[in-house]
Amino acid sequence: MRIGCPHCGARDLREFMYRGDSAPERPDPEAVDALERFTTYVYLRDNPAAPHREFWYHSAGCQSWLVVERDTRTHEIRTVRLCQVGT
């Protein structure tokens, strides 16, 4: 598997670290149902057999956090973009 880093180009899997599904969003700790929402945020995943948006960290390269859309059935990488706050 090679991941096309926006800064470095297509690089080998060995250069990256995986941090999992990018979908969960940290809930508001002040919310009345914060406990339930945090349980969902920490533990529950969609885990699809389909295109999956996930965080990869280019640790042995430019050290950027990336959001990679990758098909979990084939490992085909569809899109790679830099991780930005609020996206």
Partner 1 sequence: MRYSGWALAWNAITGQKNWPTVWRHASPKDAYDVVIIGGGGHGLATAYYLAKEHGINDIAVLEKSWIGSGNAGRNTTIIRSNYLLAGNERFYEWSMKLWEGLEQELNYNTMVSQRGVINIYHSDAQRDAFARRGNSMRLHGAGGKLLDREQTRLLLPYLDFENARFPIHGALMQPRGGTARHDAVVWGYARGADKRGVDIVEDCEVTGFLISKKRVTGVETSRGAIRASKVAVVVAGSSSRLAAMAGLRLPIESHVLQAFVSEGVKPVINHVITFGAGHFYISQSDKGGLVFGGDIDGYNSYAQRGNLPTLEDVCEGGMALMPKIGRVRILRSWGGVVDMSMDGSPIIDMTPIQGLYLSAGWCYGGFKATPASGWCLAHLIARDEPHPAAAAFRLDRFASGRLIDERGAGAQPNLH
Q: Candidates 26-34, 57-65, 69-77, 78-86: pick the segment binding partner 1 (CB under 8 A).
A: 69-77
Q: What is the smallest separation between the CB atom of 48 and partner 1, expressed in angstroms?
A: 8
Q: How far apart are CA 40 and CA 23, in angstroms?
A: 12
Q: Is residue 58 near partner 1 by the rule CB under 8 A?
A: no
Q: Which residue has the tokens 């490992």?
A: 75
Kindly report the CA angle at 23 between 33 and 28, in degrees rounded to 5? 30
Contact 39, 31 (CB under 8 A): no
Question: Strand, helix or coil at 20?
Answer: strand
Out of 74, 84, 86, 87, the only residue in the binding site for partner 1 (CB under 8 A) is 74
Out of 6, 7, 9, 13, the only residue in the binding site for partner 1 (CB under 8 A) is 13
Q: Which residues bind partner 1 (CB under 8 A)?
A: 1, 12-14, 18, 20-21, 36, 39-40, 42-49, 52, 54, 70, 72-75
